[in-house]
């Protein structure tokens, strides 16, 4: 059952993409760690972390594409799930600091000592164990998405209304996490991390491992997403995206289908956030900013929604552009981003990858037609030759 699910998920594009990601996971750390800094092929550590960050963004965009591209749910709150996963990882990293914080308190993170708290809040229990934190990375975003989706999809909230309430959700979380008494470090968030799984988080080796982990997570998620969209379930998703009430009249529980896709997608976003936080070294409420979620939509649109490779390429392209642009003309980045979205919507509605695929498909169809015509002419010429 599972094997057939996996076999179906693989086609040439996916195999190539997974192979590239696995290759990067091996090659980039090797070039970083095993070459001398003056070697021409040396990859400096800051680039390893930068591209590691892009890969987590790519995973977030892939997660969004599952619900937006294949299921028609335009979530404008996906960065919230990313941030929740990030916070779960951040809490683990805070607990690893131990007595090395500025206040030297072995149990309480610095911000709690600063707020004069005497004991660890109950919801911080367990986060000193990696396995528990890793579980929460998927469970917390998954649970919130499930509860949110349960009410939204059951009440048949659709289209722009759904998008607006996802914005409201991420904004509500933003405000909540800003509060000091929530117990998540308030405005400053969680930072000053020291170790992850006993390894120094600043060390080149750890950075390289985090990059490899991000590439691996993206490859695994790509296979899972591909399996989902190629299964009959995926066909139902596309069907309900295009004609929801027709799908209902075929006997499908549309709300269950959406809920499953939304929850899986939120869990993937959580994993992305958890890999992001150790690579950038901080998580704060700013990650819940509604604008962040909208940016994810732009990456996905630029790459091509409804294709699996598109959002990955879009996330890397747009963020690469952002890194270069904000260094050169920092004050114009938002205009460039807005302009990009307008241009893509107008001229590349299927995104970069979608347009490319369409082009290739048309060329293949033309070739096919030409071949058929050739055969027909040949067949027509035959009896004449017999005369």
Partner 1 sequence: MTEKKPRSLLYLDGVSVSFDGFKALNSLSFVVEPGELRAIIGPNGAGKTTMMDIITGKTRPDEGDVFFKGDIDLTKKDEAEIAQLGIGRKFQKPTVFESHTVWDNLELALNRSRGVFATLFYRLTREDKARIEEILSTVRLTARRDDFAADLSHGQKQWLEIGMLLAQEPELLLVDEPVAGMTDAETAETAVLLKEIAKTRSVVVVEHDMGFIRDLGVKVTCLAEGSVLAEGSIDFVSNDAKVIENYLGR
Q: Is 4 in the site for partner 1 (CB under 8 A)?
A: yes
> Judged by CB under 8 A, which stretch of 28-36, 231-239, 296-304, 308-316 contacts partner 1?
231-239
Q: What CA–CA distance (Å, rounded) separates 36 from 42?
A: 7
Q: Are 271 and 221 in contact (CB under 8 A)?
A: yes
Whether residue 67 contacts residue 262, with contact meaning beta carbons closer than 8 Å, is answered with yes
**Token pair recorded at residue 68:** 């937006």
Nearest residue to 58 via CA among 346, 319, 363: 319
Choose the stretch contacting partner 1; rule: CB under 8 A; options: 142-150, 166-174, 197-205, 232-240: 232-240
Binding test (CB under 8 A) with partner 1, winner from 122, 131, 249, 378: 249
42 makes contact with partner 1 (CB under 8 A): no
Does residue 233 belong to the site contacting partner 1 (CB under 8 A)?
Answer: yes
* Residue 150 is a binding residue for partner 1 (CB under 8 A): no
Q: How far apart are CA 242 and CA 255, in angstroms?
A: 15
Residue 257 sits in the site that holds partner 1 (CB under 8 A): yes
Q: Please, what is the minimum distance in Å from the beta carbon of residue 66 to partner 1?
A: 13
Binding mask 294-323 for partner 1 (x = CB under 8 A): ------------------------------
CA distance 180 to 367: 64
Tokens at 203, concatenated? 């060390």
**130 touches partner 1 by CB under 8 A:** no
Q: Phi and psi of 97, rounded to 5°? A: -65, -35
Among 115, 164, 176, 250, binds partner 1 (CB under 8 A): 250
145 belongs to the binding site for partner 1 (CB under 8 A): no
- What CA–CA distance (Å, rounded) separates 259 from 306? 18
Q: Are 297 and 76 in contact (CB under 8 A)?
A: yes
Q: Which of 129, 243, 360, 365 binds partner 1 (CB under 8 A)?
A: 243
In this structure, the strands spanning 195-196 and 199-200 are antiparallel
User: Given the complex with partner 1, which of 21 and 228 has the nearer CB atom?
Assistant: 228
Q: What is the largest CA-CA distance in the chain?
A: 104
Does 256 engage in binding with partner 1 (CB under 8 A)?
A: yes
> Where do contacts with partner 1 occur on this chain (CB under 8 A)?
1-2, 4-5, 228, 231-233, 235-236, 238-239, 242-243, 245-254, 256-257, 260
């Amino acid at each position: 059952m599972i094997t057939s699910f996996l076999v179906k998920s693989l086609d040439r594009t996916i195999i190539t993409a997974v192979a590239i990601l696995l290759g990067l996971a091996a090659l980039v750390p090797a070039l970083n760690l095993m070459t001398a800094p003056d070697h021409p092929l040396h990859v400096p550590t800051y680039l390893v972390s930068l591209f590691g960050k892009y890969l987590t963004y790519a995973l977030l965009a892939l997660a969004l594409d599952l619900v937006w591209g294949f299921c028609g749910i335009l979530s404008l709150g996906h960065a919230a799930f990313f941030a929740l996963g990030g916070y779960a990882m951040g809490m683990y990293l805070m607990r690893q600091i131990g007595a090395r914080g500025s206040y030297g308190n072995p149990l309480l993170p610095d911000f709690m000592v600063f707020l004069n708290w005497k004991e660890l809040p109950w919801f911080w229990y367990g986060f000193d164990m990696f396995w528990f934190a890793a579980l929460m990375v998927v469970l917390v975003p998954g649970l919130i998405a499930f509860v949110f989706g349960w009410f939204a999809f059951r009440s048949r909230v659709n289209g722009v209304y759904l998008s607006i309430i996802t914005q409201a959700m991420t904004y509500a979380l933003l405000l909540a996490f800003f509060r000091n008494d929530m117990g998540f470090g308030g405005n400053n968030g969680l930072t000053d991390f020291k170790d992850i799984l006993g390894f120094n988080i600043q060390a080149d080796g750890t950075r390289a491992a985090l990059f490899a982990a991000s590439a691996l997570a993206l490859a695994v998620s790509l296979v899972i997403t591909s399996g989902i969209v190629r299964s009959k379930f995926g066909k139902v998703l596309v069907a309900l995206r295009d004609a929801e009430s027709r799908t209902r009249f075929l006997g499908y529980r549309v709300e269950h289908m959406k809920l499953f896709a939304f929850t899986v997608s939120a869990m993937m976003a959580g994993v992305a956030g958890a890999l992001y936080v150790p690579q950038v070294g901080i998580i704060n409420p700013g990650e819940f900013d509604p604008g962040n979620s909208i940016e994810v939509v732009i990456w996905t649109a630029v790459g091509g929604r409804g294709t699996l490779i598109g959002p990955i390429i879009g996330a890397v392209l747009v963020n690469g552009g952002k890194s270069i642009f904000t260094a050169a003309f920092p004050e114009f980045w938002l205009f460039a981003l807005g302009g990009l979205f307008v241009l893509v919507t107008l001229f590349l509605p299927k995104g970069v990858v979608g347009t490319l695929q369409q082009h290739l498909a048309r060329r293949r169809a033309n070739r096919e037609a030409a071949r058929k015509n050739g055969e027909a002419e040949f067949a027509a010429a035959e009896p004449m030759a017999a005369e």
